[in-house]
Amino acid sequence: MNLKDGITAYQHNGDIAIVERIMKDADETDFLENPTRRYRFVEGNDVSIELAYPHQYISYRIRAIREKAVKHAWYVREPIRWAYDELNRQLSILYIDLGLNIPFEPVDWEKHIYKYDINAELLEWLRISDDAITRTYNELGSVANLRLYSLVLSLIVPTEEAARREESQIRSEVMVDMEAALKHVLRYVDVTRSDQEIVKYVNQSLMTRYYDAQAKRNGLRRFRKGGADRMVRPNFMTPLGTVLGAEIAEETVWQRVGGRQAEFLRKLAEVAEKDMIAGEMTKYGLTKEKCYVMSGERAKEISELSYDAARRRLTRIRKKVFNRGSLHVAR
């Protein structure tokens, strides 16, 4: 598929064929098998690869990010990391010392211990070979090793099942977020550029959109401080504190605010509480302490006043509550 023609059709007619092609190749093509794939030992240890079509360089980037994300599923295995080391030690004893034929190639070797890839295929082979393995241990008087082997296997099998479920979930989430990011980015591509320039622009823009989507999924927000952006996990205050931008005793608030201002403030606090329960905090700003704070835009939606009127009223209330000369209201 011609990259420029596909993007043009998408921009003019909403034809998503180019999106589907890129995502299909990202999902189905095993780029690791490409013989031209090479590490370039420069800054960042980049990878070079030669592909048949320009759109595949976008597919390759998506696939690489997906598989990198999947590696984070190791946290499921982390609590029993020792069990994986012990299983490799037992497999080495079975193969080297007890002469059991293990039909898998070790991926590494260290101090007389083979390192196997503990995956679904190996675990299935261990399951169907249980009788032979038990006999091997018993015949050579390795009952203590048999008990240890059985223990670590009983820990690893359910952990691997949980890890595979987590990996599947991660792959699914990455592909959903990447497709949404791709659809957004392709709308802004300048098709008069070269294929190489288009691929570079798309891949760079994809990463920004994707990481923002992942941050949102994980409850993170972009926070600017000292001229630099950071991703942080915002903190929650009480609903009233979220509207005011800082915590203060409720009795103090109602002593200082009355009439229409009090009615306005109560209405905002009630909706803030509902937003917090529903997890709908995208229209809230962040304080310097990285806490959610109601924006003028959200106050406008709740009060049905104009943006300027809602923002001014909220500012006046905050000044009155905290006895301050000036306060900034998040947009």
Give strand ranges (E) for 86-151: 108-110, 113-115
Domain range for 94: 1-218
Domain count, the chain: 2
Residues 100 and 142 reside in one and the same domain: yes
pLDDT tens readout for residues 253-297: 999 999 999 999 999 999 988 888 777 788 888 888 888 899 999
3-state secondary structure of 104: coil
Please report whether residue 233 resides in a domain: no
Residue 291 lies in a domain: yes
Specify whether 48 is located in the same domain as 129: yes
Report which of 206, 205, 201, 177 is spatially closest to residue 191, judged by C-alpha positions: 201
pLDDT digits (tens, 9 = 90+) for 184-219: 999 999 999 999 999 999 988 888 777 777 666 666
**285 and 214 inside one domain:** no
Angle at 11 between CA 9 and CA 16, to 5 degrees: 60
**Do 170 and 290 belong together in one domain?**
no
Inside any domain, residue 13: yes
> Of the residues 156, 184, 218, which one is the last residue of a structural domain?
218
- Per residue in 155-166, pLDDT (tens digit) is 999 999 999 998
Q: Which residues of the chain register pLDDT less than 70?
A: 1, 39-47, 214-231, 324-331
Give the pLDDT confidence score for residue 33 in this predicted structure: 73
pLDDT confidence of residue 116: 92
> How confident is the model at residue 148, as a pLDDT?
94
Distance CA 284, CA 280 (A): 9
**pTM as predicted:** 0.58
pLDDT at 222: 63
**Domain contains 263:** yes
Give me the phi and psi of 154, to 5 degrees please. -65, -25
Final residue before a domain boundary, out of 188, 218, 248: 218
Residue type for 9, please? A
What DSSP assignment string belongs to 45-74?
A: -EEE---SSTHHHHHHHHHHHHHHHHGGGG
Do 58 and 109 sit in the same domain of this protein?
yes
Are 314 and 177 in a shared domain? no
Q: Determine, yes or no, domain membership for 245.
A: yes
List CB contacts of 317: < 8 A, sequence separation 6 or more: 244, 257, 261, 264, 265
Same domain, 149 and 9: yes
Residues 112 and 259 in one domain: no
Residues 199 and 274 in one domain: no
Residues 181 and 58 occupy one common structural domain: yes
The pLDDT score that the predictor gives to residue 44 is 41
**Do the beta carbons of residue 288 and residue 274 sit within 8 Å?**
no
**284 and 292 Cβ atoms separated by less than 8 Å:** yes
Q: 232 near 220, Cβ under 8 Å? A: yes
Same domain assignment for residues 55 and 186: yes
Task: Determine the 3-state secondary structure of 39 from DSSP.
Answer: strand
Half-sphere exposure of 282 (CA within 13 A, CB side): 7
227 domain residue, yes or no: no
Single-letter amino acid, residue 118:
I
Residues 203 and 278 in one domain: no
Is residue 45 domain-resident? yes
Classify residue 223: in a domain, yes or no.
no
Of 218, 248, 281, which residue sits at a domain end?
218
